[in-house]
Structure 1
Amino acid sequence: MTVLRLAVLCRSLEPIRFGGTATAWFARQVERREDFKADVIDLQTTPLPELPGRIDQADAIVVVAPEYNHAYPGDLKTAIDAVREPWAAKPVAFLTYGGRSRGLRAAEQLRLVFAELHAVAIREGLGFHDVPGTFADGEPIEPGTNQAAGALLDRLAWWARALREARAVTPYEL
């Protein structure tokens, strides 16, 4: 089986930021699997001109995003727009966080953006609320979270293989 390349796109890996904690935990979930190899892309340290090439090399993408003002942050939108064509015909999943909604409103808006970019947003996602109390020692405290991450990765793997094969047979043209 060919290993799938998974881009994990986050705003910041700073340890004091929740996004960094959630991304590090998720990257550990990916490392435990044999079907994925993660490429963690920290938007705070990755120059925008590098992004299209890294997304182009990916078979699938997970976007880690907070919810701000019932939406997602502007710097994430700038990064998404900087990539453009490499998103096409690739599966995308969302790991969101913030408030009672667990970042759901950010994920819903991101689904609309990625649909316009011809990406396939999968149904499975991960969301965290009550940011300060959601993780302890780098691990989620809510039971079933690791299993939910596994289900997300299973579904993402299915779509990544299917779409990679489809792109190989018939290149996706915009």
Structure 2
Amino acid sequence: MLITFFSANALADNWRLTLERAGFMGTMALGGSYEWLPEHAVNFSVGGYHIDKEIFYQSNLSYRYSRWNTGVRGNLWRPLQFGVFASYALNQDRFFLKSPDKYPSPGYYDETALRYGLELASTMTFMPSHFAIGYHLRIFDTGIIAMFNNDNKDIQYYISSGISLQYLF
């Protein structure tokens, strides 16, 4: 998948290098984004997070749809973007894809290595300089479920925000 992602024929300004303070997608994440149409983009990144003073990594894949692309003084503003994402923890010692055998039934304990969710974003692209800044608000699958099933709605466990700096090629 990565070979396809990085070897596709790209047009000018369709590729972006991203550096992000990513919240659920890692304390910091570095990656790339490809836009095949102004409305559609896919982003892949690797983020790092701390557990017991050690850094662990995860891979992130997201898709964003930008219905509105507005010109602002020669720049491009995408005021509201909708997306879906998936994060996969690369440390198998602490995370698993199914409930371990020691639990009484399959699915007794949630998988933790693979998470997915929804996001809202906004991006301002400064065309002359080829830089962009984006803001992302993300909610995990467990957060969506908890919003409906849980009386204790502590927002920090369900919703994460991030800011990204992007360079357009």
TM-score by length of 1: 0.26
The structure in which a higher percent of residues are helix is 1
Radius of gyration: which is bigger? 2
